[in-house]
């Protein structure tokens, strides 16, 4: 019997851009050792700081014919205000993972699973600033989606922040906290 071909897609959204793009880049780089085809497709506005940004990451054992998708397996909303604009872009049976801080909207669908992650709160609790919250969210995503081993992403974090002592340890801790939040739920 032939092995089933794997494919997973995630849309990451937020405000500002760098956190969303970094998380997507780390995921894509780590996934290259696990999948035959990996696509990282960033989209952000360059003319306004703090504007909405998104990136799509597709992991597949088959070729990826198009980088634009209408629906993904998972939505990772690093800013709660981005939940409503992107809610419809999750496939039935998929996951919506959203930052808990500031969340006032409810998911109006019953065909997806919603996860609220206290990423900002967690980052502040470990002594970091809010910039590491994207790695809390990335850790939570990996614990939920189980698309690649977390160790592969941690290696990419170590490479990205090599030589940046405090930033390296903070980002690794934020990532591990994200994994633990889901594991402990």
Question: pTM of the prediction?
Answer: 0.93
> What rounded mean pLDDT belongs to the chain?
92
Cα 86 to Cα 106: distance, rounded to the nearest angstrom: 12
pLDDT in tens, 93-141: 999 999 999 999 889 899 999 999 999 999 999 987 788 999 999 999 9
Cα 144 to Cα 20: distance, rounded to the nearest angstrom: 18
How big is the CA angle at 50 (ends 178 and 105), to the nearest 5 degrees? 60
Residue 125's beta-bridge partner residues?
none
- The architecture (CATH level 2) of 7-183 comes to 3-Layer(aba) Sandwich (3.40)
Structural domain boundaries in the chain: 7-183
Q: 154: how many CB neighbours lie within 10 A of its CB? A: 20
């Amino acid at each position: 019997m032939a092995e089933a071909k794997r494919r997973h897609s995630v849309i990451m959204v937020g405000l500002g851009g760098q956190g969303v793009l970094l998380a997507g880049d780390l995921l894509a780089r780590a996934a290259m050792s696990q999948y035959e085809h990996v696509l990282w497709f960033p989209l952000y506005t360059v003319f306004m700081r703090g504007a909405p940004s998104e990136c799509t990451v597709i992991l597949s054992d088959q070729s990826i014919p198009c980088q634009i998708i209408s629906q993904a397996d998972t939505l990772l909303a690093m800013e709660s205000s981005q939940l409503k604009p992107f809610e419809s872009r999750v496939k039935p049976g998929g996951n919506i993972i959203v930052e808990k801080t500031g969340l006032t909207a409810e998911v109006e669908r019953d065909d997806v699973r919603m996860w609220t992650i206290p990423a900002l709160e967690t980052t502040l609790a470990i002594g970091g600033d809010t910039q590491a919250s994207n790695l809390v969210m990335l850790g939570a995503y990996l614990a939920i989606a189980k698309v690649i081993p977390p160790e592969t992403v941690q290696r990419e974090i170590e490479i990205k922040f090599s030589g940046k002592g405090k930033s390296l340890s903070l980002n690794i801790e934020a990532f591990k906290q994200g994994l633990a939040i889901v594991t402990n739920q």
